[in-house]
Amino acid sequence: MGHITVPAQDMHRLLDDAARLGGSYQQAFADLAETMRDRPTADILPALRQAAGDAGLAFTGADLAEQAEAISQGTRYELRVRVTRP
């Protein structure tokens, strides 16, 4: 299980928000989970790093590795999100 802290005003970067244009990390993760299942984690990691960078999110290397493993195996990945206020 991963952990991330996200400022309230940036939650759209993590979770889908129909009121805002642009992709979220949630959508990128779902797309990767659909297209990269059963692929080696080493193939998935660069795409996850890119998605996190594009979304401006700071996941640890361990969190990204766990996410890649979950995608590879087709299992759920649980992420605990701490939302901060400015």
**Percent of the chain topping pLDDT 70:** 93
- Looking at residue 20, what is its pLDDT? 58
Return all residues near 23 (Cβ < 8 A) that are at least 6 apart: 54, 55
Sequence spans of domains, the chain: 2-78
CB atoms within 10 A of CB 17: 13
Segment 47-51 shows an average pLDDT of 95
Q: How far apart are CA 20 and CA 39, in angstroms?
A: 32
The model's pTM is 0.84
> Tokens representing 12?
């759209």
Rounded to whole angstroms, how far apart are CA atoms 60 and 58?
6
